[in-house]
């Protein structure tokens, strides 16, 4: 039986492992950390009984992922499906709300109702076409070219200075800017708009759900399937040099998949010089600095609707958000940064003791920054929820400079697997119809540093496994593997 070894147990590593184990490989996954999951881990990082997600927390991309839909993730994990996908508080007690119901969202936006609907509804109502276009290698003909064209037009609308004229009110402008800022890129840019429009469309299609009990539940579901098909997952095995790893013989069909930074491929004894130069030139960018808070009770948001939204974008107006993201691109951090916050305990009482709450929050910072973001985040929450500071029982900060020690794939704290701009969306990490395949026989890349890029969707892992199976002469579809 051919062997397959996968390094890294993030969403893409485990997705590839599921596929290859089901395809009949003698499979093992090696994880550097003491617990499995990569960015899908949940732990008590502050106080006993307070469960915090280590990296990812809310998963619209997971429920829309073709791989996870075939896998049946919706039935394997208990999901919380909030009516509000995300909220964006503004000064004076106001807030813009992205309801799952797009018509309700538009109605709240007043004179900008039609502007929101015209930009988002053609995408949310054809979400399968958007997901197909964004979850695959871009060097291909999309299955739904009309939706792909609509998506591209809206990228121009929101990824260029045209965005300044898209909305008349600060509420609608902030609602869009807050979701686009997830991309951790200068504003406005085409790549940022691409990421934000996908998330905005998902907000009104499947919504922004999250797993009850924490993101670890996704990892556990994947590992259970791997083990049920004879595979193994080993934690605490840190591979830093492929020359020291016994992964088998590619001549007999053995495989090695890297759910890591592509830099690990440089340690292969047969890496060609041209490929090495391409990997060395792959750029890593702005990073995340995160804080987990254990709280004595729910956050006292001034606007009551924000209290019903697990995901909250903090940053004020569009102008403030753009200034914050552009400061990071210039190597600085704004005094009023954009904060991506999640309060999972509003609908999940397993995350904190009775009457208590947790908050997950991060800001964007320059790569490798050692800034402790605690005070900046606290001040931004306090701005829209006076009294928040008095609720803090404990906190745990992770500067960008510390993230690589937690997850070696996060170079300098870059949680996106490398700069995600138009150039590196196409050249990720090389320009190729099959960028998951390396020049080394039997070796494949299966991480967010390959298409389709960042997000917990398992698609890079599936593409890597599918490419490997095709190369081995045993091509398989999702239907073949999952029936």
Domain-embedded: residue 316 = no
- Kindly state whether residue 74 falls inside one of the protein's structural domains: no
Interacting residues of 274 by C-beta distance below 8 A, sequence separation 6+: none
Distance of alpha carbon 240 from alpha carbon 366, whole angstroms: 25
- pLDDT tens for 292-326 read 999 999 999 999 999 999 999 999 999 999 999 99
Confidence of residue 91 (pLDDT cuts 50, 70, 90): very high
C-alpha dist (Å) from residue 33 to 216, 218, 233: 14, 17, 12
Q: Would you call the peptide bond into 452 cis, given omega within 30 degrees of 0 as the criterion?
A: yes
pLDDT confidence of 90, banded at 50, 70, 90?
Answer: very high
For position 276, which CATH number holds? 3.50.50.60
Q: Quote the longest CA-to-CA distance of the chain.
A: 67
On whether residue 468 sits in a domain, the answer given is: yes
CA distance 70 to 1: 26
Q: Is the pLDDT assigned to residue 8 strictly greater than 90? A: yes
Domain region containing 448: 3-52+214-282+411-482
Structure tokens at 297: 């009770």
Tell me: the pLDDT tens digits for 425-460?
999 999 999 999 999 999 999 999 999 999 999 999
Q: Give the separation between CA 463 and CA 175, rounded to whole angstroms.
A: 33
Q: Which residue, 476, 460, 459, 452, is CA-closest to 191?
A: 452
25 belongs to a structural domain: yes
- pLDDT of 138 > 80? The answer is no
- Quick check: is 370 in a domain? no
In a domain? residue 264: yes
Predicted confidence (pLDDT) per residue in 45-67, tens digit: 999 999 999 999 999 999 999 99
Instruction: Output the pLDDT for position 24.
Output: 97
Lowest-confidence pick of 136-145, 306-315, 385-394, 425-434: 136-145
- Supply the pLDDT for residue 140: 79
Residue 65: partners with Cβ closer than 8 Å, 6 or more residues away: 73, 131, 135, 457, 458, 459
Query: Is 254 inside any structural domain?
Result: yes
Residue 262 in any domain: the answer is yes
Cα(363)–Cα(107) distance, integer angstroms: 30
Query: pLDDT tens across 250-303, in order?
Result: 999 999 999 999 999 999 999 999 999 999 999 999 999 999 999 999 999 999
Instruction: Indicate the number of domains in the chain.
Output: 1
At 479, the pLDDT band (50, 70, 90 cuts) reads: very high
């Amino acid at each position: 039986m051919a062997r397959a070894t996968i390094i890294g147990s993030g969403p893409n590593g485990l997705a590839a492992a599921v596929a290859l184990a089901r395809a009949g490989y003698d499979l093992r996954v090696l994880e550097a950390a003491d617990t499995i999951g990569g960015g899908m881990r949940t732990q008590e990082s502050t106080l006993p009984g307070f469960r915090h997600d280590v990296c990812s927390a809310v998963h619209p991309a997971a429920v829309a992922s073709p791989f996870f839909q075939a896998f049946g993730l919706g039935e394997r994990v208990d999901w919380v499906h909030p009516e509000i996908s995300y909220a964006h508080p503004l000064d004076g007690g106001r807030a813009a709300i992205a309801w799952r119901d797009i018509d309700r969202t538009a109605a709240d936006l007043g004179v900008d109702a039609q502007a929101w609907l015209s930009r988002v509804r053609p995408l949310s109502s054809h979400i399968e076409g958007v997901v197909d276009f964004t979850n695959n290698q871009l060097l291909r003909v999309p299955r739904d070219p009309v939706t792909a064209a609509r998506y591209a037009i809206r990228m121009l609308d929101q990824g260029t200075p045209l965005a300044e004229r898209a909305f008349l009110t600060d509420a609608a402008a902030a609602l869009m800017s807050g979701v686009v800022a997830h991309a951790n890129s200068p504003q406005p840019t085409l790549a940022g708009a691409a990421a934000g429009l996908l998330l905005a469309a998902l907000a009104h299609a499947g919504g922004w759900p999250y797993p009850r009990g924490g993101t670890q539940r996704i990892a556990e579901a994947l590992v259970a399937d791997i083990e049920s098909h004879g595979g193994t997952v080993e934690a605490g095995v840190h591979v830093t040099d492929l020359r020291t790893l016994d992964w088998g013989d590619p001549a007999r069909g053995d495989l090695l998949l890297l759910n890591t930074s592509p830099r690990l491929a440089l340690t292969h004894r047969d890496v060609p010089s041209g490929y090495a130069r391409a990997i060395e030139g792959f750029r890593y960018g702005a990073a995340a600095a995160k804080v987990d808070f254990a709280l004595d009770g729910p956050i006292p948001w001034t606007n009551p609707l924000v209290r019903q939204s697990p995901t909250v974008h903090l940053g004020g107006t569009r102008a403030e958000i753009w200034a914050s993201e552009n400061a990071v691109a210039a190597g600085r951090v704004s005094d009023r940064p954009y904060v991506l916050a999640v309060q999972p305990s509003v609908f999940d009482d397993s995350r904190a003791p009775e009457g208590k709450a947790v908050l997950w929050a991060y800001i964007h910072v320059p790569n490798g920054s050692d800034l402790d973001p605690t005070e900046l985040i606290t001040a931004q929450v306090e701005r829209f929820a006076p009294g928040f500071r008095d609720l803090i029982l404990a906190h745990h900060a992770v500067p960008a400079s510390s993230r690589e020690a937690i997850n070696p794939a996060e170079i300098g704290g870059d949680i996106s697997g490398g700069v995600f701009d138009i150039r590196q969306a196409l050249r990720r990490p090389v320009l190729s119809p099959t960028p998951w395949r390396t020049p080394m026989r039997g070796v494949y890349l299966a991480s967010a540093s390959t298409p389709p890029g960042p997000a917990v969707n398992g698609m890079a892992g599936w593409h890597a496994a599918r490419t490997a199976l095709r190369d081995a002469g045993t091509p398989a579809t999702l239907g073949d593997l999952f029936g």
